[in-house]
Each structure stands twice: as C-alpha cells, then as structure tokens.
Chains A and B, each alone.
Chain A
Amino acid sequence: KNQVEQSPQSLIILEGKNCTLQCNYTVSPFSNLRWYKQDTGRGPVSLTIMTFSENTKSNGRYTATLDADTKQSSLHITASQLSDSASYICVVSDRGSTLGRLYFGRGTQLTVWP
C-alpha cells in the first residue's frame, strides 16, 4: 500500500532555532516529492520539489533532502521565524504530472515561539 508518513506530528521550537521534519514514503514507482507549507486558514503552497536524481535542494532557509534508496526525505528549517509556524505537508507523486497520482502525508504542525 502506497503511504506517506510524516514525523513528528507536531513540534514547538523557539524563534531562531533550527528544526528538521521527516517524511518516509512507500510510494512506488516514484516520480517526485514536494514539500508544501500550509498557514492556518490558507491553502498549501509549494516550497520545493525533489526528483529521483536530487539529493539536496535549498529555498532560502528551507533545505530539503531526499534519499531515494531508503525512501526518506527531510525538510530542514534554519534560524526559524515566527512566520514559519504552519503545517508542512509532504506529497509524493508516483508518475509524471499527466498520469501521476499524489499521496499526501498528514503534515507536521510547527509552532515557533518568540
């Protein structure tokens, strides 16, 4: 059964600290993995996409990693800010966009305290 599991379910950190969110998947075949950020009361917004051949990709203070062999991805947030408080959702696609199906994780709820 294709699944996407995220951990931790929730996380509280102090402003300025770093954190790492995890995503493990069993989706096969694998096309790409996206991290979305969903602010409270808003729709998700894409942060980064990882394809099979990519190991690391950065977007500002966000750095995503992918280990396609172990089927694990992480999202590292550096020097957290209050605006980072949100739910971070891992989404895996099993094929290209035309035929691909998307598998969603339940998200990690991050709270950044001042």
Chain B
Amino acid sequence: EADIYQTPRYLVIGTGKKITLECSQTMGHDKMYWYQQDPGMELHLIHYSYGVNSTEKGDLSSESTVSRIRTEHFPLTLESARPSHTSQYLCASSDTLSDTGELFFGEGSRLTVL
C-alpha cells in the first residue's frame, strides 16, 4: 500500500469556518497533487507541487490554497468554507524519476459544509 496519509477522513463544518486538510507522504516523492472528486464525475486537479516552495493551481478553479514547506507535507486550506465546497478531496503523489507517472493516492477527505 502507498504511504500517503490524509486527515481528517471526514469533516462536517458550518459555513464560514476555516479548515485545513492535511496530507503527508513518506515515499520522498517530489510531486504532490490535490484532486476534487464528486460522485459520478472525473477527478479534477485543483493544486499541484513539483517540490518544496513550488505550488501551482490546477485545471479546476478553487478558492483553496496550498503550501509546500516540506517535501512530505502538502496541506490544503479553505479560509471560509461554503456549501459549494462540499466534496471529496484526494491527495496524491508521484515520483519524478518514474517514466510512467503512477499516482499514489491517499484515502481521501470527505468535506461537508452545512
């Protein structure tokens, strides 16, 4: 199994709250990603990082922000949660040296904003 961990697994919060979804990996991968997944829909890339102090926005516009201060840690923060942010958030990492680009996913964080 992949050594990539997400917390919390489930979170129910009220509108306007600030939340941080944690993601850590112990594989030493340079590349890390955040995807948003809604039922029956494809995964959408919202943020990615190619290494420490490198962060980029993905294809799907998101009001969240990310940071990459350490190789193993890639937290995602929502300053003021809204019901439209209700979704499953998946963190992933990949090895830069790999030619095939396999993604290793965490278990996901299911966020519900009331």
Contact = CB atoms under 8 A, between A and B. Distances in A.
Report the contact-size class of chain A (Cβ under 8 Å from the partner): 20 to 34
Interface residues of B, number: 23
A97 B96 contact: yes
B41 interface: yes
B100 A43 contact: no
A97 B98 contact: yes
Nearest to A51: B100
Interface stretch (B11-19, B67-75, B78-86, B102-110): B102-110
A52 B88 CA distance: 32
A113 B99 CA distance: 38
A100 B105 contact: no
A89 B4 CA distance: 20
Given A44-B103, A46-B103, A93-B101, A107 B42 contact: yes
A64 interface: no
B108 A41 contact: yes
A60 to B, nearest CB: 17
A46 B104 CA distance: 8
Interface of B: 2, 4, 40-43, 45, 90, 92, 94-96, 98-103, 105-108, 110
